[in-house]
Amino acid sequence: MAITGWFVLLVALGVVPVVALVDVVPAGLVLLGWLGICLVLMVVDLVLAASPRALRLQRQTDARVRLTETASATLYVTNPGRRTLRGIIRDAWEPSAGARPTRQRVLVPAGERRALVTALTPWRRGERRAVLVTVRAIGPLRLAGRQASIRVPAEITVLPEFASRKHLPSRLARLRELDGRTSVMVRGQGTEFDSLREYVRGDDVRSIDWRATARRSGGPGPGGTPAQTLMVRTWRPERDRHVVVIVDSGRTAAARIADETRLDTAFESTLLLSALADRAGDRIDVAVFDRRVRGRVQGARGADLLAKLVETMAPIDPALIETDYTAVPGLVRSMTAQRSLVVLCVPLESPGATRSLLAMLPQLTTRHLVLVAAVTDPALLDAAGERDSRASVYRAAAAERALLDAERVAAAVRRLGGDVVSAAPLDLPPAVADRYLAYKAAGRL
């Protein structure tokens, strides 16, 4: 049962008869009589109210939505009873689902159905759920009503935002300059044969293909000598290379930097790199790991790659456990047997916290090209530059200490044969993509 403000106001109006009849009837009797009238009216209103448990509730919800975008959840309310339903319905979605409005007034005549639409704008990735629908049916006198919470489960999958896709067109344009669309004349490591074309002045004579030239030899030229059309070979960066991305989902991935977790930043970097590498014709495999594999995508190509990646990443949250880096080499071996680019999306903090990571790296760098992608907290850079007060000086010293520790760890990674790219959350995905393109241009991949 629930009472409304009108019932409270009705009880408060009892002051009027008490004051008016105070000389005729004792005030206590008048007050009791007024309360009795109010209770009778309340009971009558409850009896005349529609039964919320007799309602039939059905849901129709979008299956998935990208983070920060808006989806719709429709709740169908059918009133099979003989009384009109007047009241309020609260669709109890999780707060992170961003449901608006949370409460809606309804008027459903007997035997009819109404649709209530709730807009969902989630601000957290993963499975967002609703379990209960609370219905408060108010009587015709608007004094009281019946209330019940009915179990009507629903869920929607919130996919990663992939905000870094805005950087993809510019990186694809740079990729086309390295790809077979702009061939080069010099053969080197990381290149493969592209095509043959006629020799023009300025070409490297070492690129002349004499067999192709002999096949293209024409008839007699001036002076009776055979006319020859020189053919040269062109080369392009090698395709069908292998890229392996390992995303750390341990406790350090739960840290929030610039209003997003390290894990979300790693997912953004992985999605941009995957889209770019797939367009380049390379194979890419992804694993999310802490002490066990939380998600893995292997063998997917084209549009299916990004679809599988976002579906795999959506339900994964950081686990509050220490990551077992000693198992990473075995995980990489299970994903590839050839020399590959291995991207480790892990934090680079103090040397003590990364001791196990540094001990594991030589097992990867001896066989693979290893890139460590780490997030830099822009708040540390801001704090390191403030010297306005005594407190800010201490904060600046602490920030400088943290930055120096990160630089020491990055230098240790480079000494062990790896490479490091670190940037703020918004800058890390394009920085990783740029480093991948640099490897392609240099023939290191």
What is the rounded CA–CA span in Å between residue 322 and residue 346? 12
pLDDT at 315: 92
Question: What distances in angstroms separate CA 296 from CA 63, 206, 312, 397, one per listed residue?
Answer: 22, 46, 7, 41
Report yes or no: 7 and 145 within 8 Å, Cβ to Cβ. no
Report yes or no: 111 and 11 within 8 Å, Cβ to Cβ. no
pLDDT at 184: 47
pLDDT at 386: 84
**Backbone φ, ψ for residue 80 (5° rounding):** -85, -5
**pTM of the entire structure?**
0.78
pLDDT at 2: 80
Q: Tokens 């529609």 map to which residue?
A: 50
Mean pLDDT by 10 residues, the chain (445 residues): 82 76 70 84 87 91 91 94 90 92 92 93 91 91 88 93 92 78 49 67 74 68 56 67 93 89 94 93 93 92 91 92 93 91 91 87 94 91 84 89 90 94 94 93 78
372: helix, coil or strand?
strand
What is the rounded CA–CA span in Å between residue 307 and residue 285? 13
Q: Tokens 């639409």 map to which residue?
A: 117
pLDDT at 236: 59
The residue among 167, 125, 153 whose CA lies nearest residue 295 is: 125
pLDDT at 177: 77
What is the rounded CA–CA span in Å between residue 389 and residue 384? 13
What is the rounded CA–CA span in Å between residue 389 and residue 180? 58
252: helix, coil or strand?
helix
What is the rounded CA–CA span in Å between residue 297 and residue 311? 10
What is the rounded CA–CA span in Å between residue 10 and residue 6? 6
Q: What one-character DSSP code corresponds to residue 36? A: H
What is the rounded CA–CA span in Å between residue 187 and residue 203? 13
217 Cβ contact list (under 8 Å, min separation 6): 226, 227, 228, 229
